[in-house]
């Protein structure tokens, strides 16, 4: 927004006097696709509990990512899955200060990168990322703290789950 004031001249005419050149745009910033719009039937097909859906992390999106998460289906409730969508490239997970153990994988119809968060226990957690147009889609699986030894490989479980959801995700 341009703020201007007026000042008088000796002839009585008003002249524009620019007091600020700060501008604001009326166009809204694009919002990433919201993974909480994945249909409940697809979430159930993937073995997740629709009743546990959580938008954001503790109700908040983070770092420009729209986030949605679910627990695995009862009675197991052994892990948590979150889907993050933001306007980033795959370089986002190629940051060694946050992620490591990057490996190319095929998830459903998509070429993806499997990763671990730095210092994460790979026997309990896994992440996978791929792009869809201008958006980066990341999915994570975190095993519940009360589970001593998971009866699954977290990356195999996550990749199978994301493959089931593939048709519901942006192309």
DSSP secondary structure string, 45-89? HTTEEEEEEEESBTTB-BTTBEEEEEEEPTTT--EEEEEEEES--
Look-up of token digits 């509990």? 49
Residue 24 in domain = no
Residue 41 in domain = yes
Residue 96 in domain = yes
Residue 25 in domain = no
Residue 6 in domain = no
The yes-or-no verdict on residue 25 having pLDDT over 70 is no
The yes-or-no verdict on residue 24 having pLDDT over 90 is no
pLDDT of residue 14: 44
Parent domain of 113: 35-168
pLDDT of residue 2: 35
pLDDT of residue 27: 66
Question: Quick check: 154 and 143 in contact, CB under 8 A?
Answer: yes
Q: Please, which residues bridge with residue 15 across strands?
A: 7
Residue 21 in domain = no
Residue 17 in domain = no
CATH number, domain of 105, equals 3.40.1000
pLDDT of residue 148: 86
Structure confidence by residue, pLDDT tens digits, 96-142? 999 999 999 999 999 999 999 998 999 999 999 999 999 999 999 99
Residue 47 in domain = yes
Structure confidence by residue, pLDDT tens digits, 52-74? 999 988 788 888 899 999 999 98
pLDDT of residue 26: 52
Give the count of domains, the chain. Answer: 1
The yes-or-no verdict on residue 21 having pLDDT over 70 is no
């Amino acid at each position: 927004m341009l703020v201007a004031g007026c000042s008088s001249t000796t002839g009585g005419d008003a002249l524009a006097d620019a007091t600020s050149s700060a501008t604001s745009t009326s166009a809204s910033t694009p919002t990433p696709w919201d993974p909480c719009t994945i249909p409940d039937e697809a979430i159930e097909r993937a073995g997740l509990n629709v009743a546990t859906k959580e938008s954001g992390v503790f109700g908040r999106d983070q770092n420009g990512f729209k986030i949605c998460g679910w627990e695995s289906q009862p009675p197991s409730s052994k892990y948590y899955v979150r889907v993050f969508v933001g306007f980033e490239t795959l370089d986002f997970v190629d940051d060694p200060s946050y992620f490591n153990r990057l490996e190319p994988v095929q998830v459903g119809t998509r070429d993806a990168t499997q990763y671990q968060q730095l210092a994460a226990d790979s026997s309990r957690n896994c992440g996978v990322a791929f792009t869809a147009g201008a958006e980066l889609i990341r999915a994570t699986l975190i095993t519940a703290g009360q589970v001593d030894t998971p009866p699954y490989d977290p990356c195999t479980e996550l990749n199978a789950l994301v493959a089931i959801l593939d048709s519901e995700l942006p192309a």
